[in-house]
Amino acid sequence: MDRELLRSQEDIAARHEELGRAMMDPKVLGDGREMKRLGREHARLGGLLEAMQAYRRALDALTEAREILEQGRDADLVALAHGELPELEAAEAARREALKRLLAPHDPDDDRSALVEIRSGTGGEEATLFAADLFRLYVKYAERKGYRVEILLSGRTELGGMREAVLLIEGAGAYGALRFEGGVHRVQRVPVTEASGRIHTSAASVAVLPEAEEVEVEIRPDELKIDVFRSSGPGGQSVNTTDSAVRVTHLPTGIVVQCQDERSQLKNKAKAMKVLYAKLLDMRRQEQEAATTAARRSMVSTGDRSAKIRTYNFPQNRLTDHRINFTVYSLDRFMGGEIDELIEALQLADIEERLRARSGG
């Protein structure tokens, strides 16, 4: 039996209690960044303890049933245990797999909030409409999960499409859930702009970044170029009479971020800086991984953001993720934010690869 999976439970419980006490310390309560860091670890370990307890209950129930069958003393108990055995075995296996996932090597960034950046690609206006569909998909998913959504950027078109959009999805584990959404998403359908009814193929790209704390990335004032201009709406018409839109250029890297959704120049600058901090943190992480010869090369997350990862076929109501050969014929539900099944499949594929890498397999 897998009693080994439970050996570290006491140590984890002790660490969980230690974090709980630390979070009550007045010094920590006054340090927002430290409070958030400890809170993420406390929540993760709490979930791990719950999974351990659930597995222990399932394992104990299965062990008891097998002991009754081996002893064979009471015919009624034997019949009852024999009838329950398949269900108990399935429950034990499911709880074991869930626990193994949680015990896999953990990336601390998975506990962070996520910035989701969506851009229309090839396909003209239809591509912008698809980008808007992806935008709504992630908003609905976040709402279902109880995450808070803040729109940092939304460049809309006259037909209701989106050239680009950036969402901040706030909540513990948001980045860990959405990190594998990064890449090129391809759609096959009859565009609303197509009179002849022909199926077109269009695309949109998605990038997912962990939210960065300001103290994690140092930016000097002389490294920034700040430009202000008037916000524009669909068709390029001015929607503000003041220069409230903000464009921030990070001179050392050339990264450019702009925001015009708010009427306040200060609010637009604050939103643009959130995106800039996340992009700089992500750039640093990629450089560190590239410099590490043992960096993992995952089939799930190749780091190639130009790779086509998924196809949405509307005429057949089919969705296919090409990285793990995952196909479902419920695209309508998927577009409504019900993406948990695919997220779990992607996470499992990644965890299995990490476990193989750790064992040298």
| Parts of the chain belonging to CATH 3.30.160.20 | 212-295
pLDDT score at 76: 86
Q: Which residue has the higher pLDDT, 348 or 332?
A: 332
Here the tokens at position 73 are 């003393």
Percentage of the chain modeled with pLDDT above 70: 86
pLDDT band at 1, cuts 50/70/90? very low
pLDDT band at 3, cuts 50/70/90? low
What does DSSP say about strands 183-189 and 308-313: parallel, antiparallel, or unpaired? parallel
CATH number of 212-295: 3.30.160.20
Answer whether residue 361 shows pLDDT above 60. Answer: no
For the segment 101-112, the average pLDDT, to the nearest whole number, is 78
- Kindly report the average pLDDT of the chain as a whole number: 84
Here the tokens at position 45 are 């370990």
CATH number of 3-103: 1.20.58
DSSP reduced 3-state for 167: strand
Window from 64-68, 74-78, 317-321, 355-359 with minimum mean pLDDT:
355-359
Window from 193-207, 226-240, 341-355 with minimum mean pLDDT:
226-240
Contact between residue 51 and residue 103 where contact means Cβ atoms under 8 Å apart: no
Question: Is 169 buried (19+), middle (13-18) or exposed (0-12) by CB count in 10 A?
Answer: buried
CA nearest neighbour of 336 among 152, 134, 52: 134
pLDDT band at 157, cuts 50/70/90? confident
Long-range pairs for 137-141 at CB < 8 Å and ≥24 separation?
137/334, 137/335, 137/336, 137/337, 137/339, 138/167, 138/169, 138/178, 138/181, 138/337, 139/167, 139/337, 140/336, 140/337, 141/337, 141/338, 141/339
Query: Strand (E) positions, the chain?
Result: 114-120, 148-156, 162-170, 183-189, 200-210, 224-229, 245-250, 255-259, 308-313, 318-321, 326-328
Question: For 158, what's the count of Cα atoms within 13 Å in the CB-facing half-sphere?
Answer: 5
Contact between residue 247 and residue 257 where contact means Cβ atoms under 8 Å apart: yes
Answer whether residue 292 shows pLDDT above 60. Answer: no
pLDDT band at 358, cuts 50/70/90? low
| Parts of the chain belonging to CATH 3.30.70.1660 | 110-210+300-361
| Parts of the chain belonging to CATH 1.20.58 | 3-103
Give, in words, the CATH class of 110-210+300-361: alpha beta
pLDDT score at 295: 40
Rounded to an integer, what distance in angstroms lies between the CA atom of residue 49 and that of residue 43?
10
pLDDT score at 303: 47
CA distances from 351 to 223, 346, 357 (A): 39, 9, 10
Beta bridge pairs of residue 185: 204, 310
pLDDT score at 7: 64
Task: Give pLDDT tens digits for 45-80.
Answer: 888 899 899 999 999 999 999 999 988 888 888 899
Rounded to an integer, what distance in angstroms lies between the CA atom of residue 354 and that of residue 357?
5
Answer whether residue 291 shows pLDDT above 60. Answer: no
pLDDT score at 6: 66
pLDDT band at 106, cuts 50/70/90? confident
Contact between residue 251 and residue 224 where contact means Cβ atoms under 8 Å apart: yes
